[in-house]
């Protein structure tokens, strides 16, 4: 009787354990939402010369995230997080367009600002990889300064903005940046299918149809991260065991702020180390990328190249890194004349990939089936034993 009892109890425990561990994998049900509104060139009725300024307001319960995207100079994305749901952006347009004073773009009230960070897409570098070593230092061409590109007007559709431009030197083709801001958590539709939240925005960057300066050209993109305090100063590379959303890629890189060496993250730029050689990529169009270590940069140069940085920051702190596309032995840019790469820019901790329900179900079946068989086997043994016990117990009466 006692063995039967303990058999029953342990079976129930096992079942309970399997059930809860399955539920645990599904957790994170409630999603955080923001009210998103879009405004082009706030406070201006005419189109400004030299490029547009997009303002996306994302209001949370009692905070606001302001996304500002500007093509006055090098394309720049600025995120300002405030602890008030009524903070506003004020632009002094004549000063803003003169691009020589800070304070021409302000977020008010100033005391509500919790954190701000900006990313400047500053340069496109090209090198002739004659020996197919993918060593970016080997034979560089003069870089393309994105501040000297001719940029289109911002093409808006909802909270998605498209900006395309070309250097005067481009024979054909263009470099495009597409900003997407989100109301709630989700995942991009195209590879690398990055997971995003209401606290982040996604920037897709692609170079389409441009004629390279050599047949064996490869490219790098220079990014500058700017902040008033706690700049993005280190890149962490995390490994994952799951590549279901980004086939063959098991890493995610995140460029994060560091608060006196503590692990708290105030802002981040996150990407998967992969670019694609087609706009609708197949697996063979994926090409790995690498990044250099972030290095401190001259803030004055950054402010001179970007209207938004000049306008918002009085004492910017800048770090820069390069992302290089392609490894030795891979096709060169001229094979498809297309290259696209995607990053997430946000405040707070970067989102963490989780398993999809499908993978969870497969794991549950894979791990659960042996457990169920064990349980059934155990139960069967218990029942047999009980039956044997009772028959032996009854025998003397016969």
Ligand X SMILES: *[C@@H]1O[C@H](CO)[C@@H](O)[C@H](O)[C@H]1NC(C)=O
Provide the binding-site residues for ligand X, judged by CB under 6 A.
32, 60-63, 83, 98, 100-101, 111-112, 114, 130-131, 138-139, 142, 144-145, 147-148, 155, 157, 162, 167, 169, 171-172, 197, 199, 211, 214-216, 259-260, 332, 334, 348
Residue 10 or 62 having the CB closest to ligand X: 62
Q: Which is nearer to ligand X, 260 or 392 (CB)?
A: 260
Helix (H) or strand (E) holding 323: strand 317-325
Distance, CA of 328 to CA of 339 (rounded, Å)? 16
Closer by beta carbon to ligand X, 60 or else 247: 60
In the complex with ligand X, the residue whose CB is nearer, 212 or 273, is: 212
Instruction: Pick the closer one to ligand X by CB: 60 or 368.
Output: 60
Smaller CB distance to ligand X: residue 124 or 226?
124
Nearest distance from residue 262's CB to ligand X, in Å? 7
Strands 113-128 and 76-82 come out as antiparallel
Question: Alpha-carbon dihedral of residues 295, 229, 202, 127, nearest 10 degrees?
Answer: -20
Q: b vs e for 138-147, b when ≥16 Cβ sit within 10 Å of the residue's Cβ?
A: eeeeeebebb
Cβ 101 to ligand X shortest distance, Å? 5
Could you tell me if 308 and 105 are in contact, meaning their C-beta atoms sit under 8 angstroms apart? yes
Residue 343 Cβ, how far from ligand X at the closest point, in Å? 17
- Residue 138 vs 279, nearer CB to ligand X: 138
- Min dist. Cβ of residue 121 to ligand X (A): 15
Does residue 273 contact residue 291 with C-beta atoms inside 8 Å?
yes
CA distance 392 to 398: 11
Q: Is 184 helix (H, G, I), strand (E, B) or coil?
A: coil
- Shortest approach of ligand X to residue 16 CB, angstroms? 30
Give the residue nearest to ligand X (CB). Answer: 215
For the CA atoms of 238, 290, 196, 338, the dihedral, rounded to the nearest 10 degrees, stands at -150
Task: Return d(Cα 324, Cα 2) in angstroms, integer.
Answer: 68
Is 260:234 a contact under the CB 8 Å cutoff?
A: no
In 3D, which of 295, 351, 287 has the Cα closest to residue 321?
A: 295
Which is nearer to ligand X, 69 or 332 (by Cβ)?
A: 332
> In whole angstroms, how close is the CB of 193 to ligand X at the nearest point?
17
* Neighbouring residues of 41: CB distance < 8 A, sequence distance ≥ 6: 47, 48, 52, 53
Secondary structure letter of residue 73 according to DSSP: B
- Shortest gap between Cβ of 62 and ligand X (angstroms)? 4
Number of Cβ within 10 Å of residue 5's Cβ equals 10
Least spacing, CB of residue 94 vs ligand X, in Å: 9
Number of neighbouring beta carbons within 10 Å of residue 319? 22
């Amino acid at each position: 009787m006692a063995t039967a009892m303990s058999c029953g109890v342990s079976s129930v425990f096992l079942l309970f354990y399997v059930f809860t561990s399955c539920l645990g994998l599904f957790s994170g049900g409630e999603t955080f939402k923001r009210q998103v509104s879009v405004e082009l060139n706030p406070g201006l009725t005419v189109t400004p010369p030299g490029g547009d300024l997009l303002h996306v307001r994302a209001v949370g319960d009692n905070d606001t995230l302001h996304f500002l995207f500007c093509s006055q100079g090098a394309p720049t994305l600025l995120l300002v997080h405030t602890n008030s749901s009524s903070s506003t952006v004020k632009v002094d347009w004549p000063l803003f367009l003169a691009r020589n004073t800070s304070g021409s773009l302000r977020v008010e009230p100033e005391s509500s600002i919790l954190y701000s960070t900006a990313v400047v897409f500053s340069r496109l570098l090209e090198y002739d990889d004659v020996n197919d070593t993918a060593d970016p230092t080997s034979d560089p061409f003069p870089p393309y300064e994105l501040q000297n590109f001719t940029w289109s007007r911002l093409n808006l559709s909802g909270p998605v903005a498209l900006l395309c431009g070309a250097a005067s030197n481009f024979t054909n083709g263009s470099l495009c940046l597409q900003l997407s801001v989100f109301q709630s958590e989700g995942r991009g539709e195209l590879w690398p299918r990055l997971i995003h939240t209401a606290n982040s925005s996604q920037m897709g960057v692609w170079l389409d149809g441009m004629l390279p300066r050599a047949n064996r050209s490869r490219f790098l993109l220079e990014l500058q991260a700017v902040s008033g305090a706690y700049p993005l100063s280190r890149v962490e590379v995390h490994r994952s065991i799951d590549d279901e959303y980004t086939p063959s890629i098991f890493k995610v890189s995140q460029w994060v702020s560091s608060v006196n060496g503590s692990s708290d993250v105030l802002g981040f730029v996150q990407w998967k180390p992969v670019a694609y050689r087609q706009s609708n990529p197949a697996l063979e169009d994926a090409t790995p990328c690498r990044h250099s270590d972030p290095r401190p940069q001259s803030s004055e140069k950054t402010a001179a190249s970007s209207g938004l940085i000049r306008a918002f920051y009085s004492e910017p702190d800048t770090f820069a890194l390069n992302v290089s596309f392609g490894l030795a032995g891979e096709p060169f840019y001229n094979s498809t004349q297309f290259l696209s790469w995607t990053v997430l820019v946000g405040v707070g901790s970067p989102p963490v990939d989780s398993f999809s329900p499908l993978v969870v179900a497969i794991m549950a079946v894979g791990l659960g089936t042996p457990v169920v068989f064990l349980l059934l086997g155990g139960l069967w043994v218990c029942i047999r034993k009980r039956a044997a016990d009772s028959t032996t117990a009854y025998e003397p009466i016969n």
